[in-house]
Amino acid sequence: MEVKMGIEILGICLVLIIYLCWRVFFRPFNLFRDFGDLGFESVSKTGNDIYKRNAINEMRKRRKNGKLPPSYPNGWFAILESESLKAGETKEIYALGQNLVAWRGRRSGVTYVADAYCPHLGAHLGVGGEVKGDCIQCPFHGWEFDGEKEGKLTRIPYAEKVPGFAQIKLWPVTETNGFIFVWFHSEGSGPSWNLDPIPEIVEGKWSYRGRSEMRVACHIQEIPENGADLGHLNVLHCDSAWSGDDPKSSWISRNLIQHVWHGTWEPNVNRSHEAIMKLTHLIKLFNRFSCLHINVDVRQIGPGIVILHFDTYFGQGVFVQTVTPIEPLLQTVTHRFYSGGWIIQPVANMILDAESKQISRDIRIWNRKCFLDKPILIREEQTIKLFRRWFSQFYYENSNSDNGRTNYFKKG
């Protein structure tokens, strides 16, 4: 009897250990961080949640900025990750200062995105709306708008005729590389460039390894500018990822293990909406021995997408990074990581963890910095000037800066 009980307990412990190992090492990485987690440590360690929230909001309000560019540049922006919208589902979205609804057709599997408010009496279609075929049905009086027919009203459950002019505004949508993107243009123009699928992702050659999502309190331009700001790499990112997002409070010295970066940044002369960054990344021990050499190819595509391929002797991988403005000074930054078979899940989790630590160091700066429209730049920093000229192509030329407080749109 006692032996039997002992075997049972051993069995339960074994299952528990296997489950914990799977959770720690083999489950795809998944991380969410809000802007209040980084750069607001002076208040976030004290008081209750309401006190912290109020204090952080006050700090955000007090922040000084130079003349801010428009809040929403023109381009493709990720609003959802593909797997979060199943066939027949609807989602409420708030992005680009707009209330939107997304749904995926039951028959076609196609994703549609539209303005959220029903033109009948204003119900929010993403709150209780249902998918019927490729239509979205309003929860209030059951009117149905067809995604396949440009958002036209096709049915009213209690009327024989429908007003022919009634429709909801559909947004241009494309779905690739694990994301659903909408095209935003401040004057309502259609897409002027398209997004290329990454064969390793869409053909399933590489495996999905995980994601991170961070909300950042800054202007969108600050985030891609980081790629052209080569001077910060060997300052902010030289400490090892094991030192965490705040190396100053870590016991691991940069004399022990160190990242050394060399990089170039330039606009892509063949595709004006792209810029190319080449990075070599060395991991050094004791400031002397190079133990890992990583080549990183980065493509900035429009204002809100970055594709980062890396190649090492132990395998290849790709990060897809998207930046989506939510409000004038609030961005969502999402990373999805895919790798070849040699980078197994536990290694991929380490890479994702390291990457999220490194970007958290940037976020601590972005959350609290001011935007300077006329920074002091030295000779070695010409790529920042170049970046700003390149990025300005995404702004509507007649738009006014809104100082980050109101929506600058003239239309839409």
Q: How many residues bind ligand FES (CB under 6 A)?
A: 9
Query: Which residue number, 141 or 309, has a Cβ lying nearer to ligand FES?
Result: 141
141 touches, from ligand FES, Fe ion, none (C-beta below 5 to 8 Å by class): ligand FES
- Among 78, 116, 138, 348, which residue sits at the site for ligand FES (rule: CB under 6 A)? 138
Of 249-288, binders to ligand FES (CB under 6 A) are: none
**Signed CA dihedral, 35, 40, 45, 50: sign only:** negative
User: What is the token pair recorded at 239?
Assistant: 């400490």
Considering the rule CB under 6 A, would residue 162 count as an interface residue with ligand FES?
no
- Among 60, 63, 106, 120, which residue sits at the site for ligand FES (rule: CB under 6 A)? 120
Considering the rule CB under 6 A, would residue 136 count as an interface residue with ligand FES?
no
Query: Which residue number, 122 or 204, has a Cβ lying nearer to ligand FES?
Result: 122
Query: Which residue number, 134 or 362, has a Cβ lying nearer to Fe ion?
Result: 362
User: What is the token pair recorded at 371?
Assistant: 């935007």
Q: How far apart are CA 333 and CA 213, in angstroms?
A: 6
Considering the rule CB under 6 A, would residue 208 count as an interface residue with ligand FES?
no
Query: Which residue number, 226 or 243, has a Cβ lying nearer to Fe ion?
Result: 226
Considering the rule CB under 6 A, would residue 368 count as an interface residue with ligand FES?
no
Query: Which residue number, 112 or 408, has a Cβ lying nearer to ligand FES?
Result: 112
Considering the rule CB under 6 A, would residue 310 count as an interface residue with ligand FES?
no
106 touches, from Fe ion, ligand FES, none (C-beta below 5 to 8 Å by class): none
**Signed CA dihedral, 168, 171, 177, 178: sign only:** negative
How far apart are CB 399 and ligand FES at their closest, in Å? Answer: 32
Q: How far apart are CA 397 and CA 405, in angstroms?
A: 20
226 touches, from ligand FES, Fe ion, none (C-beta below 5 to 8 Å by class): Fe ion
User: What is the token pair recorded at 9?
Assistant: 């307990």
Antiparallel, parallel or unpaired: β 90-95 and 98-104: antiparallel
140 touches, from ligand FES, Fe ion, none (C-beta below 5 to 8 Å by class): ligand FES
Considering the rule CB under 6 A, would residue 10 count as an interface residue with ligand FES?
no
Q: Minimal CA–CA distance to 351: which of 385, 310, 381?
A: 310
CA separation, residue 314 to residues 166, 268, 340, 342, 343 (Å): 57, 29, 10, 7, 7
Whether the CB-CB separation of 183 and 191 falls below 8 Å is answered with yes
- Among 52, 53, 141, 388, which residue sits at the site for ligand FES (rule: CB under 6 A)? 141
Q: Minimal CA–CA distance to 305: which of 327, 274, 261?
A: 274
How far apart are CB 365 and Fe ion at their closest, in Å? Answer: 8
How far apart are CB 178 and Fe ion at their closest, in Å? Answer: 23
What are the strands, taking DSSP E only, across 64-219? Answer: 75-81, 90-95, 98-104, 111-115, 130-132, 135-137, 144-146, 152-155, 173-176, 179-184, 207-216
Task: Tell me which stretch binds ligand FES (CB under 6 A): 28-36, 77-85, 120-128, 178-186.
Answer: 120-128
Whether the CB-CB separation of 366 and 218 falls below 8 Å is answered with yes
Residues lying near ligand FES in the complex (CB under 6 A): 118, 120-123, 138, 140-141, 143
